[in-house]
Structure 1
Amino acid sequence: MLSLFVHSLPGVCAVCTHCKDTITPAHLDAACPLVVGIAANAQLFATKSLAGSPTLTYSLTHEMAAHFTRPVVDAIMGIACAPCQGAQVDLKSTAYTAANAVVKAAVYGHASFAEASAELAERMDAATTDLEVNKIRGALDSLKLGVESAIHTSSGVLAFCWAKISTVLSKRSDPTFKLEVGKGKAASHTATLVRPKNEAEFYEMIHLFIMLTVALGMASATIVSKFLDDVVYSAIRMKESWKVAHELLMLYFREIDLDPMRLMHMGNVYRRGGQDTLLSEARRNAAAFFRAGGGNLQLEGAIDTIKDTKTIKPNGNGDDKSKRPCADFNAGRPCKQLKPDGSCVFAHACNQFVSDKGPNGYCFGDHVRPDCKYDDAKKLKAPAK
């Protein structure tokens, strides 16, 4: 009877609480590739290490994975971990211990190719084993090839990810099937923003954005959800249209992406203030990009391309009210972040870090950084804490 009773009990098997056994082979909860992979990705962003690359094998849909390929993910990682503008990178730090990390530093704009080449040459002289020599020699060869795919300018990681997500939706109706061979990596770093055609598409983009940022390890689901609640859903609760909410989201991406100090993120940008100013700008942008008729009507969604911004020429003026000095102005380059009238969105002031103007203090004189005559004893290579 006891044997009959035991055999009549339903079978008991342990199911992974994270992936629900959708990932094989069977594993313990703590060893679930879904959790372990995301934790490892988050560690890469936390340490700003270029020695590895985020793994998205189990975290994205097949459709998303086709757009966020390895070169794209590497580029996102490189730009997200870039130092603040004006800071000098120490290629001898732990973040660049691996030879391939030095190559990535040059490709993604952390350092110049000359600096990376000099660092690898110095390591070659100090190498004592054949294995070390071969690794460095391979890195030098990769450095030569990396010139073609180097990222010289960037509109920011979050805006890039959002634009890339928009192409996931827009490509669904594209009947063209491609197999591209031998195409340069640099082409993978360009994304055109296709604004959603309706509210449903907007919410789907939000869903995919949460999936991507969590999978990459850029932020936790809680932080991303709170950020979207503050920016998007609070605007909709105030009876703003979804179009205004979309443009407001883009403006907050801009605030994070273009922060020269790299202090803004999804967890603190909304509390920084300026909500009324950004909301007013979002309303104007929504009226311009989601126009119902007239010139430049986009029947397949409003398309915002890099070509549009290139028609604006810099007029040499900066924004005197901005508290952020322009990196392009200090480097002697034409300004890239422009207002419709051609003036720069940042202040044309010296971005030399100094120690006597509080945390993240700049010289902010009316000259470029190479001409700065600030007290040498107070000049810093990195922002003051």
Structure 2
Amino acid sequence: MSTASATATDMGVFSWLWGKITNFVAERGMQTVVMQLESASSTAAANVLSTSVKRFSDPTDFFEALNLFIMFCTALGLATAVAVTEFLEYTVFDTIRMRGKTWQVAHELFLVMLRRIEDSGGKLNMVNCINDTHLNTVLEEAEVSAKRHTFRSSPGKGEDARSVGGAGSDETGPKYNGKFTANSKEVCWFFNSGQPHRADHLHPDGTCKRNHVCDKWVSNKGPGGVCKGTEGTKGHSRAQCDNPHRCDTKVDK
């Protein structure tokens, strides 16, 4: 789903509700659009409700939308207040306060997590998705999305042109040289996902700022423990993890 333009047929109920709320806040009013879809077989066409997600330039609008999201989720019986607020604490407020990210990145992480819930076929909800999701994976996805949707003509004082909201291009930055920082405590998402390294995640000489070790969850390292290549084939990534203690869900005890 492209949250900037996806219709309700591509959305789950949470994404659709968020889209309606963002339009309401952005335009100070909401109009529900009913679309008549023509069927190739000339059978009765279905009526669907359409919306798209608005990105805000003012954080006040974003937080107002979150307040309305809590209200509608609880009023419509989609989730309890405890479940919604715990979900927002993890996806939004922890992202800003503890992870040091911008509110725009927090917005995108919120959307990424909603979509994962909706795409899980009922396996994930606002409570268990927190423990059943690789944070590095979804956070990198959110940062990429925030960079795409939040554009500034020039970086502010003290800001990197390649940071979220900046106008920098990875084409002008360093290129990955095949090396990584072995003493970094952070695990590289690009190494584990097989995606090309972005310039803002590299040192000036092209060395990755993070450690290239497996981030697969394991059962023998306590809450939130990951492999980090301590067992199994040397240099393996998440997809090739053969650590005997590997597991598909995060250990929380």
With the length of structure 2 as denominator, give the TM-score of the two structures. 0.50
C-alpha deviation, 1:153, in angstroms = 3.8
Pair 1:154-2:15 in alignment:
no
Q: Match for residue 142 of structure 1? A: none
Q: Counterparts of 1:211 and 1:171 in 2: how far apart (Å)? A: 19
Q: Counterparts of 1:152 and 1:161 in 2: how far apart (Å)? A: 10
Does the CA contact (< 8 Å) of 2:8 and 2:51 recur in 1?
Answer: no
C-alpha deviation, 1:226, in angstroms = 0.5
| Cα distance change, pair 173–279 in 1 and its aligned pair in 2 (3 A) | same
Pair 1:282-2:157 in alignment:
no
| Cα distance change, pair 213–173 in 1 and its aligned pair in 2 (3 A) | closer
Q: C-alpha deviations, 1:274-314, integer Å up to 9, x for none?
A: 111110111111111011139xxxxxxx9xxxxxxxxxxxx
Q: Match for residue 20 of structure 1? A: none
Q: Match for residue 230 of structure 1? A: 90
Q: Match for residue 110 of structure 2? A: 249
Q: 1:263 aligns with which of 123, 127, 130?
A: 123
| Cα distance change, pair 241–187 in 1 and its aligned pair in 2 (3 A) | farther
Q: Which has the larger radius of gyration?
A: 1
Q: Counterparts of 1:293 and 1:266 in 2: how far apart (Å)? A: 36
Q: Within 5 Å, which residues of 2 pair with 1:197-216?
A: 197-216=57-76
C-alpha deviation, 1:192, in angstroms = 1.4
| Cα distance change, pair 286–213 in 1 and its aligned pair in 2 (3 A) | same
Q: Within 5 Å, which residues of 2 pair with 1:250-329?
A: 250-260=111-121, 262-293=122-153
Q: Counterparts of 2:62 and 2:75 in 1: how far apart (Å)? A: 20
| Cα distance change, pair 164–291 in 1 and its aligned pair in 2 (3 A) | same
| Greater than 6 Å deviation, 4+ residue runs | none
Q: Match for residue 111 of structure 1? A: none
Q: 2:80 aligns with which of 213, 217, 220?
A: 220
**How many residues were matched structurally?**
142
Between 1 and 2, higher relative CO (CA 8 Å, sep ≥ 6) is seen in 1
Q: Counterparts of 1:201 and 1:276 in 2: how far apart (Å)? A: 27
C-alpha deviation, 1:155, in angstroms = 1.9
Q: C-alpha deviations, 1:9-51, integer Å up to 9, x for none?
A: xxxxxxxxxxxxxxxxxxxxxxxxxxxxxxxxxxxxxxxxxxx
| Cα distance change, pair 219–283 in 1 and its aligned pair in 2 (3 A) | same
- Structure 2 spans left out of the alignment, 5+ residues: 1-6, 38-45, 155-164, 166-191, 194-253
Secondary structure of 1:291's counterpart equals: coil
- Give the root-mean-square deviation of aligned CA atoms: 3.2
Whichever structure has more helix as a proportion of its residues is: 1
Aligned partner letter, 2:96: I
Q: C-alpha deviations, 1:53-111, integer Å up to 9, x for none?
A: xxxxxxxxxxxxxxxxxxxxxxxxxxxxxxxxxxxxxxxxxxxxxxxxxxxxxxxxxxx
Secondary structure of 2:19's counterpart equals: helix
C-alpha deviation, 1:266, in angstroms = 0.4
With the length of structure 1 as denominator, give the TM-score of the two structures. 0.34
Q: Match for residue 228 of structure 2? A: none
C-alpha deviation, 1:242, in angstroms = 0.1
Q: Counterparts of 1:220 and 1:205 in 2: how far apart (Å)? A: 17
Secondary structure of 1:270's counterpart equals: coil
Pair 1:172-2:28 in alignment:
yes
Does the CA contact (< 8 Å) of 2:117 and 2:126 recur in 1?
Answer: yes
C-alpha deviation, 1:179, in angstroms = 11
Aligned partner letter, 2:12: G
